[in-house]
Amino acid sequence: MRCLLARVNGIRQTKRNEMSKIKNNSGRDLTEGPIGRGLLAFAIPLFLGQLLQQLYNVADAWVVGNFADNNAFAAVSSTGSMTFLIIGFFNGVATGGGVVISKYYGAKNYDAVEKAVHTNFLFGIIASVLATAVGVLSAPWLLTIMKTPEEVMPESLTYLRIYFGGVSTIIIYNIGMAIMRALGDSIHPLYYLVLSSVVNVILDLLFVAVLGFGVAGAGIATVIAQGLSAVMCIVKMCRTEGVGRLKLGSLRYYPDYMGEVIVQGLPNGVQNSVISIGNMVVQTNINSFGSYAMSGVGAYSKIEGFAFLPITSMSISLPTFIGQNLGAKKYDRAKKGAAFGIVSGVVLAEIIGVIVYLFAPVLLRFFVDVDEAVHIGQRHARIICLFFFLLAFSHCAAGVLRGCGKSIVPMITMLAFWCGVRIIYVTTTLHFVPEFSVISWAYPLTWTLSSIVFLTFLLKSDWVHSFEKGKRG
């Protein structure tokens, strides 16, 4: 009898401990409640956070574009593909940890959650060291192979060296954000970005407009602001009570969990880097049309970065939602959430695309006020933006597949079309038709092809049982 009572009390205590972990954790359980409301409540803070993060680049571009010359603006606005080549790989791999964490969180396996959290953060530390070394050392070579114009080269190199010198702040923040997001917490990263964005704008104005540091000032401002958000993120995770708490003194290597992180994240990391290579090839062809083309396309890229934030936020939300619900074995709920996310993303994207089409000249002049650059940017924008619905579908579908552990499918699809086909099309067609519009049409073409593949896979495959099939295999 005493043994029975002890067992009952033990079960009760275990349940109380689990409930305590849930209550103390600041995340959101996406396995319960209305699907649409839950996804939107999770996605809206992500959208605001992405919006503020985008301000880092925009603030640099706006301040440099208005208080420096065209070459300085071209330097800042045309290096995005190079920076993403390095940090995109490591952030992509770490994102795989988010899928692992959300799966265990949905299954209420809190011991596994703790180990996955520490494994993912340890990977972030290793990635920071590697990214800094690779970025700083490879910057001159990357600029050279991209045929950066001679007049732009010095300032581009200065910006990249400063950016990569402080790239650890960016990676650590994104690792922490991915961990919080996997646990359903999209609020606290938003708070940190609000403060760091304000700091970034103030420092941009101080270093560039007041002190005249040029592109160096813009780079320093970004690193300092990102460092602030990274520190706040670490402090929050260390102070969290319950599941998901980070204990820096207890960081250990867990082979099984690191293996899961690599398996889920490596395809995404490779995808990010190889797509960046494709974008670098495209940027090389843009550079061949001169600094005005660089500035015009660079200005458009800032507009697109803002315009597509709502869709990006939904695509980022879907892996967490899908992962938690599949971990909890709520298959029908996962399907309905996937449908809601994809449809809402596609509709919103096309509305935004029409707005960009109509107001492209006005929006471009916010970043660059050179007629030649605005003209090229306008032509580029009006070819691309009406096809935003295809880009949205591809991103949201890829989010669903990452959430169910099928990250290899988006990797292969996007490598084939967003890199391979894009490079072949641009380089071959420009040889016979040396018109700038050839570059612009590369994007709708490759988005169409990837969307066809994703639609076919979602309709034909049993993706909701991917985790169970993986265990059996």
- For the segment 202-224, what is each residue's pLDDT rounded down to a tens digit? 888 888 878 878 778 888 888 89
Condensed to tens digits (0 to 9), the pLDDT of residues 121-157 reads 888 888 888 888 888 888 888 777 767 777 777 777 8
With respect to residue 79, please indicate whether it lies within any of the assigned structural domains. Answer: yes
- 62 or 210: which carries more pLDDT confidence? 210
**Is it the case that residue 116 has pLDDT exceeding 70?**
yes
**Burial of 454: CB neighbours in 10 Å, binned 0-12, 13-18, 19+:** buried
Binned at pLDDT 50, 70 and 90, residue 24 comes out as: very low
Give mean pLDDT, residues 190-205: 83
Task: Indicate yes or no: pTM above 0.85.
Answer: no
Highest mean pLDDT among 91-100, 242-251, 360-369, 438-447: 438-447
CA dist., res. 97 & res. 103, Å (int): 10
Q: How far apart are the first and last CA of the chain?
A: 43
Q: Residue 410 has which token pair?
A: 């988006």
Q: Would you say residue 26 lies in a domain?
A: no
In the chain, % of residues over pLDDT 90:
15
* pLDDT over threshold 90, residue 201: no
Residue 21, in any domain of the structure: no
HEC string of the chain? CHHHHHHHHHHHHHHHHHHHHHHHCCCCCCCCCCHHHHHHHHHHHHHHHHHHHHHHHHHHHHHHHHHCCHHHHHHHHCCHHHHHHHHHHHHHHHHHHHHHHHHHHHCCCHHHHHHHHHHHHHHHHHHHHHHHHHHHHHHHHHHHHCCCCCCCHHHHHHHHHHHHHCHHHHHHHHHHHHHHHHCCCCCHHHHHHHHHHHHHHHHHHHHHHHCCCCHHHHHHHHHHHHHHHHHHHHHHHHHCCCCCCCCHHHCCCCHHHHHHHHHHHHHHHHHHHHHHHHHHHHHHHHHCCCHHHHHHHHHHHHHHHHHCHHHHHHHHHHHHHHHHHHHCCCHHHHHHHHHHHHHHHHHHHHHHHHHHHHHHHHHHCCCCCCHHHHHHHHHHHHHHHHHHHHHHHHHHHHHHHHHCCCCHHHHHHHHHHHHHHHHHHHHHHHHHCCCCHHHHHHHHHHHHHHHHHHHHHHHHCCHHHHHHHHHHC
* Domain contains 310: yes
Q: Which amino acid is at 116?
A: A
CA pair distance 95, 88, nearest whole angstrom: 10
User: What pLDDT is attached to residue 12?
Assistant: 46
Residue 422 CA to residue 441 CA, distance in Å, equals: 10
Report pLDDT for 17: 46
Choose the weakest-confidence range: 68-82, 171-185, 195-209, 324-338: 68-82
The set of residues, in sequence order, having a beta carbon less than 8 Å from that of 247 and lying 6+ positions away, is 118, 238
Q: Across residues 83-93, what is the average pLDDT? A: 73
pLDDT of 221 reads: 86
The whole-number pLDDT of residue 40 equals 84
Q: To which residue do tokens 């910057």 refer?
A: 139
Average pLDDT over residues 173-199: 81
pLDDT at 60 over 70: no
Residue 56 has a pLDDT of 61
Average pLDDT over residues 466-470: 64
pLDDT range class, residue 174, cuts 50, 70, 90: confident
The backbone torsions φ and ψ at residue 252, rounded to the nearest 5 degrees and listed phi first, read: -140, 160
Structure tokens given for 199: 């700091």
Tell me if 386 is assigned to some domain.
yes
Taken as a whole, the chain contains a residue count of 473
Question: Other C-beta atoms within 10 Å of 410: how many?
Answer: 24
User: What does the pLDDT look like over 244-301, one tens digit per residue?
Assistant: 788 887 777 778 878 777 777 777 777 777 777 777 788 788 888 887 888 888 888 8
Q: What are the tokens at 7?
A: 């067992």
pLDDT digits (tens, 9 = 90+) for 323-341: 888 888 888 999 999 999 9
Contacts of 87 (CB under 8 A, 6+ apart): 131, 135, 167, 170, 171, 174
Average pLDDT score, the chain: 80
Least confident among 49-58, 163-172, 411-420: 49-58
Q: Would you say residue 243 has pLDDT above 70?
A: yes
Does the residue 91 lie in any domain? yes
Backbone angles phi, psi at 366, to 5 degrees: -65, -30
Segment 37-55 mean pLDDT: 76
Domain of residue 84, residue span? 33-467
Range with lowest mean pLDDT among 16-25, 44-53, 93-102: 16-25
Handedness of CA 412, 416, 419, 422 (dihedral sign): negative
Number of structural domains found in the chain: 1
251 domain residue, yes or no = yes
Q: Are 101 and 113 in contact (CB under 8 A)?
A: yes
317 and 39 in contact (C-beta within 8 Å)? yes
Q: Identify the pLDDT of residue 27.
A: 58
426 found inside a domain? yes
User: What would the pLDDT profile of 3-22 be if each residue is shown by its tens digit?
Assistant: 444 444 444 444 444 444 44
Q: What is the pLDDT of residue 441?
A: 93
* Distance in angstroms (rounded) separating the CA atoms of residues 217 and 184: 36
